[in-house]
Structure 1
Amino acid sequence: MKTGNQSVETDFILSGLFQYGHMDTFLFVAIVILFAVALMGNIILILLIQLDTRLHTPMYFLFSQLSFLDIMNISTTVPNMTTNFLTNSKTITFLGCEIQTFVFLALGGTEALLLGFMSYDRYVAICHPLHYPVLMSKKICWFMVTCAWTSGSINALVHTLYVFHLPFCRSRLINHFFCELPSLLPLVCQDTYQYEHTILLSGLIILLLPFMAILASYARVLTVVFQMSSGKGQTRAISTCSSHLIVASLFYVTALSTYTRPHSLHSPEEVKAVAVFYTIITPLLNPFIYSLRNKEVIGAMRRQLVEGIFGQKFV
């Protein structure tokens, strides 16, 4: 099968995040350690939420979904990157690149929407606590998750199918450590100016709209929180919401900087540096931001440890 004047079976070449100097070896080891810690942190958070019945609430259900997304997200890029570094092989097949692009876009879009739904959960819990059981029922939670996955996957499928049917007739070198949309466009030998407007539009819908919704909902939440008479309630509400806002800001700002600007304004070094944040740093920080700042998660961890060591079950 041919697309333009190139064969879809031709491999791409990834420039990678590392070269092969002493400093790059150190950075490689650091990335591998961060990858392991991120996996462990997210897996532990998911297990705690599953094992501790006190965490069987809509908020922690959404937390577990976010951790699952982070595990898949970081596993989409880092293992291939480390394999290429260890084997000194930087090639990736056309199909492999296509799959990686789709999976990464789908996970990113799903996470962007899920973070928005998580802010809605906190808004309802604080601003409309009496209606919380109805507005955040199990059925609605699953609807949110399904909506996020479906929307993210459809958006990713459309972009992936379109880009990989364009003619790649320039250098096969992708100046990145994984197959990402903005880094593929410079390889296309036809004008992509109009298509970049489509990327901008989908980026505004998938990324900017949920982020603006988060900011608007938390502006309302802060108004209600500061009207609370209970200092303990204020502290708990601010702690939970600030944790989510930190995670959301880190994810949205870095993703928006990549997907809402023309590829001509990106330098390869900038693209790689920013990508490290939403592919490695954010999945690493998410479980620790949510757990270390959350007394309920810390309490669940203590209960599981005591139960596992001493066989004493908390009631």
Structure 2
Amino acid sequence: MSLVVTGATGRLGRLVVEALLERGVAPSEIIATGRDIKKINDLADRGVTVRQADFDEPDGLAAAFAGGDKLLLVSTNAVGQRFAGHRAAIDAARAAGVSLVAYTSITRADTSGVKLAVEHRETEQYLRDSGIPFTFLRNSWYLENYTSGLAGYLEQGGVAGSADDGRVSAASLADYAEAAAAVLATEGHAGAVYELGGDEAFTLAELAAQIGAASGREITYTDMPAQRFAELLTSVGLPKDYAEVLADADQGLGRGELFTDSGDLSRLIGRPTTTLSEAITTALRQS
């Protein structure tokens, strides 16, 4: 059995390959694909099959996936252009004869009103219609979305957002990667829709409080209208379209659309998920 991981040159895909190896999957049974395979040459040195795969060049995808039994389709970061690439990858997976496609989607993709959910919903429906057995890995936010901004929060003395008192079930990239590896490496997941998130959801006010407690500084949360938050993000260098998507996602967070209490993630990885406190402590130690 060969397991194909797309996006292995990115953070999540790379962690999935590492998680498969840690589970004892033989390197020769893993096919790691990505656009710039120079980034994963070290995996080839360890016996993993490495192949170039670019969703914008669909003619080469079937060959990249050839011989694969199960495939993890890691959603791309090309917001607004995702579906076309995902569709090409699903078509190629069908042509390559894979027996299951696991797709990294977003929490509550079928009902969510956030802009980011639209292309995930389209991809899920296309995968359902393709006839390929599927598993949906509906990931909530990454803890790294917040810990990567620690320096800015500490410098400004606060966290800003448009989430009101909504709770987010964020989990670490490593946790989500372990869950994906479990689905690829074990049986019984065809047709499953997993709502994945951390065991302990939190508000952005609680995020600010935990950063303050860990750093010994006073950190507050400021809630603001989505447009004002988007303008703030743009002022610190984010592209306008992306800033508006993030502000829209914060409003979805406020509506509960990034919250899940399913317990699916901890069950799949066989342990409690990484807590916000642990993630903040680790990030501060490494900064």
Measured against the shorter chain, the TM-score band is under 0.3
Larger RCO (CA under 8 A, 6+ residues apart)? 1
Higher strand share: 2
TM-score w.r.t. length of structure 2: 0.28
Q: Is the radius of gyration larger for structure 1 or structure 2?
A: 1
TM-score w.r.t. length of structure 1: 0.26
Higher helix share: 1
